[in-house]
Amino acid sequence: MLRAIEFACQSHTGLQRRANEDSAYASPPLFVVADGMGGAQAGEVASQIAIEAFQQGLDGGGSSEEQLAQRIQEANRQIYERSRTESGREGMGTTLTAALLDDAGLAIGHVGDSRAYLFRDGELSRLTRDHSLVDELVRRGELTEAEAAEHPQRSIITRALGPEPDVTPDTSTYPVRAGDVLLLCSDGLTSMISEETMTEVLRGATSLDEAARALIERANAAGGRDNITVVLFRLEEVAGADGALADKEATTIARPDVKATPVAAGAVATSRGGDVPAPAASAPVPVAPPPGEGRSIRRIRPQPAHRSGGAEVEPGRRRRWTKLVAATVAVLAVLFLVGGGGYLATRSLYFIGTNPQGIVTIYRGLPYELPAGIPLYETFFVSGVPASIVPSDRRHQFFDNQLLSESDALNLVRQLELGKVSR
């Protein structure tokens, strides 16, 4: 049977951060890296909560993928509830990448832009895909890898633990064999050095401890803009559960101000190559918007304008007036659609809003619904951009239900995706 007979778990704050918001856990057969986000030390809290959820152990029910997914969802629940009950924690979250070795292979559970890699026969293969804006644009062929590395919105992630009450992790299982080395890391590693450099370090290292130190040193030499965490483990064949080689005790590399637990801070290193397929794609879920912007920006339905001047309208009369205007608009819209080819005319009208996940979306039709809840629009194009990153002084272009042509709507959203919509 395969066991992790050697592993290393190291972390560094980096050269430009005052605190380390990464956390990690290394206790064979389970390894986890979490990269926290959020102000006022909220990122540290979020990543630590995620690690503690795994320290509690797996329930042993279901497949390894199902067990990882259950722990990730439990961690998400705890972070989300904490963010809503403690001042200064609103919007906190964390990425998480977990690996569990079992008889079927290596199960991976993943949310965010931390990464897992397989180093086999001198080649590095990426096992996870980033839940980030630029990675989505690269997959769609709208950015090259080189352009993504310099993109002004490269730090925007589209899925994380904590910002929303529910999260869907990517899970997958890969076949592994004796001699394989697995790498988990936070993006403090991969944003600083290339996969080619990572491969070079792993090829030249005489031990996993040496490799972990060298990777962190290379990332710091390149600027060390973020926290850097590296977890490495090597697989070997042993005789059985009581084989000749025993696993080490759980390793701890924690933040300097945190009591040592089987935890290590994490920065992600990634490399794509080899013969290991990437996990199947899944739909992005937006991270929380900045404080003051709300958790997400929903599609704004047209509202009747308030009358200016004169006495203030009483609340009850205002509601009745609003309903009357909305009903009148709906009836007029129906009459328009029924008569004179009006329906065909709406097929050339577009407006921009957000979908239920808070992602900027182009709709075709009119931004209204009939009294029975029947929409007069349909989804035309879903971008990879969370609505929370739209600058406040440009929101009217996206969320005021302005009717546009197809080309104008697509061009505006494309400029947003490419980082060309700014204050």
Residues of the chain with CATH 3.60.40.10: 2-237
pLDDT tens profile 230-280: 999 999 998 754 443 444 555 444 443 333 233 333 333 322 233 333 333
| String of DSSP letters for 221-255 | HTT--S-EEEEEEEEEE-SSTT-SSPPPPPB-B--
Enumerate the β-bridge partners of residue 229.
11
At 185, is the secondary structure helix, strand, or coil? strand
DSSP element (H, E) containing 407: helix 406-417
Enumerate the β-bridge partners of residue 352.
362
Q: Is residue 297 predicted with pLDDT exceeding 60?
A: no
Report whether the peptide linkage leading into residue 29 is cis, meaning its omega lies within 30 degrees of zero: yes
d(CA 288, CA 160): 9
| String of DSSP letters for 336-405 | HHHSTTHHHHHTT-EEEEE-TTSEEEEEEEEEEE-TTS-EEEEEEEEEEEEGGGS-GGGHHHHHS---B-
Average pLDDT value for residue range 46-63: 91
d(CA 129, CA 126): 8
Tokens standing for residue 289? 């918007």
Lowest mean pLDDT among 6-15, 79-88, 116-125, 382-391: 382-391
Half-sphere exposure of 20 (CA within 13 A, CB side): 28
| String of DSSP letters for 315-337 | HHHHHHHHHHHHHHHHHHHHHHH
CATH fold for the domain made of 2-237:
Phosphatase 2c; domain 1 (3.60.40)
Could you tell me if 45 and 20 are in contact, meaning their C-beta atoms sit under 8 angstroms apart? Answer: no
Q: 249, exposed or middle or buried, with CB in 10 Å at 0-12, 13-18, 19+?
A: exposed
Could you tell me if 358 and 379 are in contact, meaning their C-beta atoms sit under 8 angstroms apart? Answer: no
Q: Which residue has the higher pLDDT, 369 or 174?
A: 174
Q: Cβ of 66: how many Cβ atoms within 10 Å?
A: 15
Give pTM, 2 decimals: 0.63
Output the pLDDT for position 140: 80
pLDDT tens profile 320-372: 555 556 556 655 555 555 444 454 555 678 899 888 777 889 998 888 776 66
Could you tell me if 417 and 383 are in contact, meaning their C-beta atoms sit under 8 angstroms apart? Answer: yes
**Of 287, 285, 302, nearest to 388 (Cα)?**
287
Lowest mean pLDDT among 102-116, 206-220, 225-239, 401-415: 401-415
Radius of gyration of the chain (CA): 25
d(CA 236, CA 3): 6
The identity of residue 347, as a single letter, is: R
Q: Cβ of 356: how many Cβ atoms within 10 Å?
A: 9
pLDDT tens profile 182-199: 999 999 999 999 999 999
